[in-house]
Structure 1
């Protein structure tokens, strides 16, 4: 199972290729919400998202790959495209036909070929696996891979070095790769910190899964402004980590996510995608939260 040593090794491996993203604060936002909030600015990461961490960590451990292939709604796509460019390899990315045009264009800009014809959230993994067999390219899963999870966890090591004290961290949850990596690092080094996941209403498969004690899949792709967390079910490998280390999963309506996104723009002067604002949204609701919060701003690939 994923451990701290895996994450520390990943941090050393990917360090030459990524940014050490800053932590941002807003006094006016803190006063408005009555909290002390530290924003880990992964929207300022290479490719505009934390996803490049996991993609790079996985790609850099491959032995002589012909190319890289990924399935993604957008941010993992760009991470794998960047990893392929770093290694001098071709990249093929399977993206849903209705995925963000901005994210498709950015993926192509990193040199990847986008395959989206007839692709949906429901069939994308099967299509990617078929293309991987055809091309011989190495498939890098967006979340259900310990190498990817370890890469995502590296941001938590940075956060601990940047912020002296906080009581909980809020993390948007899709397939669970980010929260699994973050929770593994934090609980190994600071077990008193609560790890809290956040999901949109109607896309709360992680919350349902933790409550049921087994993975619960959605019957169809959820409709939500948080397009980066439209997975149908949490990962087979991420779920046990979440069961052990994640304190709770909170659910928020899209209207509050958009309100949080506006607040981040107004008070922090930062452009983030709705999925990044999702992590802040519980602080705008009646959920009981500790005073000192870290919020992972997971991505900034968004245009109004």
Structure 2
């Protein structure tokens, strides 16, 4: 939707600019540092963000930077749509959000409550995206991509800025991955002494498949976390960023995700959606290195109940 801010891809300066731009509306979410199974671990509580997801940061950054847009169209599994809806509401803009059938009703209710119109289309995110792009092209609306947009990536990168400031001893950051916008944004601000772990469900593995193929390819999108991580193809722009950085790609199973989500509630009283528990599942399985890791809990937009 926006032009690339400083060339072919966003850079650290864009993330810093995004932090200033979104500061009046977005929350600086807290970090909880604790010990589990005798090991230190920190949780970035991004599920406490406005709209219950980090997605608000990217949408807000784009819609506050682009003053020419008059109405906006987006496609989403739920969280990006909610972020766009709320950012559009703050700007006084009409918004239409295309979601695939099967999107959790909890997310749809919140999108509607934020003032956007919801259009159900297709069974997968890719189908909803195609329909949203077609409407934008026909109507002249701005199409706001969920992850393959430099302004969105820069906005998501502000999560990483806060982690660096809040957990200065952090040596590893683990994030859940769908289209890879959050992972790409966070990677822009991590120095050479920190490792980024990109965690995906085994059956929603677009980034893992892209690393194996050397380019974005179609991948399955079938998981309990698919409403948030169900991109069937990683974004070209975030893949280009991540390919050049120190990234460890790991996979976790749905049972591991559900168990990790329940444990977050039982031990810490943190209620999150399945996607947010994926980094914790990887950490519990020994797939997140480092002595002082920080795990991003990315969202909580679900009718939550234990498994």
Q: Could you tell me the TM-score, scaled by structure 1's length?
A: 0.94
Determine which of 19, 23, 28 is the counterpart of 1:15: 23
Residue 48 of structure 2 corresponds to which residue in structure 1? 44
Q: Secondary structure at the match of 2:208?
A: helix
Structure 2 residue runs without a partner (length 5+)? 1-8
Residue 290 of structure 2 corresponds to which residue in structure 1? 290
Pairs within 5 Å for 1:69-148: 69-118=73-122, 120-148=124-152
CA contact (8 A) 1:273 1:300 kept: yes
Residue 260 of structure 2 corresponds to which residue in structure 1? 260
Structure 1 residue runs without a partner (length 5+)? none
Residue 286 of structure 1 deviates from its aligned partner by: 4.0
Residue 67 of structure 2 corresponds to which residue in structure 1? 63
Residue 235 of structure 2 corresponds to which residue in structure 1? 235
Q: Could you tell me the TM-score, scaled by structure 2's length?
A: 0.93
Residue 247 of structure 2 corresponds to which residue in structure 1? 247
Pairwise CA RMSD? 1.4
Residue 98 of structure 1 deviates from its aligned partner by: 0.9
Match status 1:182 vs 2:186:
yes
Aligned length: 296
Match status 1:211 vs 2:212:
yes
Residue 160 of structure 1 corresponds to which residue in structure 2? 164
CA contact (8 A) 2:172 2:294 kept: yes
Residue 94 of structure 1 deviates from its aligned partner by: 0.4
Determine which of 5, 11, 16 is the counterpart of 1:3: 11
Q: In structure 2, how many angstroms separate the alpha carbons of the residues matched to 1:264 and 1:60?
A: 34
Q: Secondary structure at the match of 2:125?
A: coil
Q: Secondary structure at the match of 1:298?
A: coil
